[in-house]
Structure 1
Amino acid sequence: MKDTVSVQDRPRLTSLSHGGGCGCKIAPGVLSELLAGIPAGQPYAALMVGNETSDDAAVYRLNDQQALIATTDFFMPIVDDPYDFGRIAAANALSDIYAMGGSPIMALALVGMPISVLPKSDIAGILEGGAAICAQAGIPIAGGHSIDSVEPIYGLAAMGLAHPDHIKRNGDAQAGDMLILGKALGVGILSAALKKDILDADGYRAMIDSTTKLNRPGAILSGLNGVHAITDVTGFGLLGHTLEVARASGLTATLHHTDLPWLTGVPELAAQGAITGASGRNWASYGDAITLAPQVNETMRALLCDPQTSGGLLVACAPDAVAQVLDIFRSEGFAQAAVVGELTAGDPTVRVTL
């Protein structure tokens, strides 16, 4: 079928959406209100992980050797290149499987596209990008569902497997654990800079390399006795997802700002005002549970709340497992993995020091 939209006249993908990537997420405070009437807990004996602690995926025990991990994730464009958008969205969706300690086995595509606005070649490019990432993960896209929508939306419903004993809940962290972050931060800042046309080629390359990198170490780390909890850092920012671990585990988390790894040019771009609206919404939702060092200024706070798309794994592990965890990350190509904080007994809050 011939395109009804000229490729020359095609709009920028990011111009068609009110937000991009995981910055599209409903703010955590609003989401909590919306879910207030939904029963939590586990009414089914085989349901190992449900919605009770805002974990990364649902987990259902199949037998003594296998647990099924199921998740879904989709969003609007964070970049203008269709193929890159598809790759980013697929890698982001599969991250939830790795964050639970599993390996993906299959995915279904979730597609909503403005058919009369985007050239069909662009839509095909998005689907091809998603398929490429799934092929890299060694899984098929076995089907899906599509609709004609006002804004472009793409993502996956993904399924994975893990041994029941290797499932890593965000609520199983222990007092004394160290916090290790697998990827550098700042995807939201770079995406905001892209929309403002102030992102250079090195910054764009850093954003694409990070957001399309599969969080494979999660499946390896889950087998280590010293690894107690794993989550991935996405739309609620480092502060929001660290707070989820602290609340689910009943512990105080401390983050050290000077130890945080940043993607190319992120602090400088943030200082120029390349900050997403989601960062402010995130702080408004959970800021009352955060204690910031006096030296943490407004820009630094925005960086801590910056929504990450296909962000890194946040691992809580025993101190004697730190070296092994870092070795696994680096052997898998995560050169910027770093120890960023620790967990201690106390109120379920997050403290940020310099």
Structure 2
Amino acid sequence: MNAPATHTEPRLTSLSHGGGCGCKIAPGVLSDILKGTAAMPIPASLLVGIETSDDAAVYQLNDEQALIATTDFFMPIVDDPFDFGRIAAANAISDVYAMGGRPILALALVGMPINVLSTQTIGRILEGGASVCRTAGIPIAGGHTIDSVEAIYGLVALGLVHPKHVKRNASAQPGDLLVLGKPVGVGVMSAALKKGELGGAGYALMVATTTQLNTPGPDLAALPGVHALTDVTGFGLAGHALEMARGARCEMRLEWASVPLMAGVRELVGRGFVTGASGRNWSSYASDVILPAAFAAEDKALLTDPQTSGGLLVSCAPNAVDEVLAVFQRHGFAQAAVIGSVAAAQAAPRLVVS
């Protein structure tokens, strides 16, 4: 069973070719697209741009403040319009937290098939997004709407951070430990939901996980022993760990048995509920990932599973790991765990899974 329907219109997920961060262009394709863009002058005040595929742009305003700017939007990952709005908003705001900042305001990005969905349904999507923004303590100060074929919702999110506390995805250091804040498996659950095979408990877990704001970000960024931060989204745990490796010119080592998984996802993978994005992810970066000879196909599907509003991935000094885990616990992230380490690259940066 799925969550109870709130209207008689088409299921939201039936209107989208891909849901949540599974809509992302595959990393290899995106890399090819960006190669064709012309280089632009970079002002000294732009502390973070597109050079390491980081979570947001950061522009220094003065000695005490830097502006974080990011945007994220996608097609429905669930059928309930209010939940869709909540998930999309939490996912967009996450990039501010992933840079170590605190959000200050948002702008709504809304594309809806107005000849298919009622104004009441569209309104519920917006209400869901607004509810998460209230929880984050920020207003939706404006936005833009279009009539589109597929339902699209998301935010432009702006935040502030002290320039000294900006945490990039490219600052991991050999000897660091890796900590993941949320369990993996959202994409698998979304695939089961779309087929009508996700039970009520699974749906509740999926929504609870994807709407949990990554509020530990600023507190983590303030810890001297935290060197790098990112959040795990559409490219999967493997893809975002690999981005961290490439940015830092290091080798990321994951201990797969230590990676927290959402309850029931291994069974769902075994039943064939895997997103197409998982395969596209693997095709894009397989050459830079080393797996054990006996690594199960189910595990590879979860390693590459696209996460929507996924957890923070932290690279920190070993003597800071207890503080990092304490921050996660204080913010209600009970499954945060040490999942690996960072080593000097033997040749090209890569991800090694054991």
> Do both share a fold (TM > 0.5)?
yes
1:33-71 deviation digits (Å, cap 9, x = unpaired): 000022458621100000000000000000000000000
Q: How does 1:234-253 map to 2 (within 5 A)?
A: 234-253=233-252
Aligned match of 2:351: 350
1:19 counterpart SS class: coil
Code of the residue aligned with 1:325 in structure 2: it is V
Once residues 146 and 234 of structure 1 are traced to their aligned partners in structure 2, the CA distance between those partners, rounded to angstroms, is 25
Q: Which residue of 2 aligns with 1:118?
A: 117
Map residues 243-282 of structure 1 onto 2, 5 A cutoff: 243-282=242-281
Could you tell me whether the CA contact under 8 Å between 1:40 and 1:51 is conserved in 2?
A: no
- Aligned partner of 1:22 in structure 2 is 21
What does residue 13 of structure 1 align with?
12
- Structure 1 segments, 4+ long, off by >6 Å, are none
Query: Quick one: percent identity of the two aligned structures?
Result: 63
Gaps of 5+ in 2: 1-5
**Residue in 2 that maps onto 1:162:** 161
Matches of 1:113 and 1:100 in 2, distance apart?
Answer: 30
2:88 is the alignment partner of 1:73: no
The one-letter amino acid of 2:321's match is V
- Give 1:285 deviation, angstroms: 0.3
CA distance in 2, matches of 1:163, 1:60: 11
Moved more, 33-42 or 275-284: 33-42
Q: In 2, Cα distance between the equivalents of 1:161 and 1:44?
A: 19
How many residues of Structure 1 are paired with residues of Structure 2 in the alignment? 347
2:3 corresponds to: none
How does 1:1-354 map onto structure 2 within 5 Å?
Answer: 9-39=8-38, 43-346=42-345, 347-353=348-354
Distance 2:105 2:148 in 1: 25
Would you say the 8 A contact 1:256–1:352 is kept in 2?
A: yes
Partner SS, residue 35 of structure 2: coil
Separation in 2, partners of 1:8, 1:227: 46
Distance 2:296 2:41 in 1: 42
Letter in 2 for 1:230: L
Preserved CA contact (<8 Å) 1:182 1:334: yes
Letter of the 1:117 partner, please give it.
V
TM-score, normalised to structure 1, is 0.97
Q: Structure 1, unaligned stretches of length 5 or more?
A: 1-6
Aligned partner of 1:349: which letter? R
> Match of 2:274, SS?
coil
Please give the root-mean-square deviation of Cα atoms over the aligned residues, in Å.
1.0
1:108·1:142 contact (CA, 8 Å) conserved in 2? yes
Alpha-carbon separation, structure 1, partners of 2:178 and 2:351: 12
Q: What do residues 121-161 of structure 1 show as CA deviations (whole Å, max 9, x unaligned)?
A: 11000000000000000000000000000000000001000
Could you tell me which amino acid in structure 1 is paired with residue 227 of structure 2?
Answer: H
TM-score, structure 2 normalization? 0.97
Output the CA distance in 2 between the equivalents of 1:40 and 1:158.
Answer: 25
Q: CA deviation at 1:234?
A: 0.1
* 1:201 CA drift (Å): 1.0
The one-letter amino acid of 2:17's match is H
SS at match of 1:59: strand
Alignment check: 8 A CA contact 1:27 1:282 kept: yes
1:41/1:52 contact within 8 Å kept: no
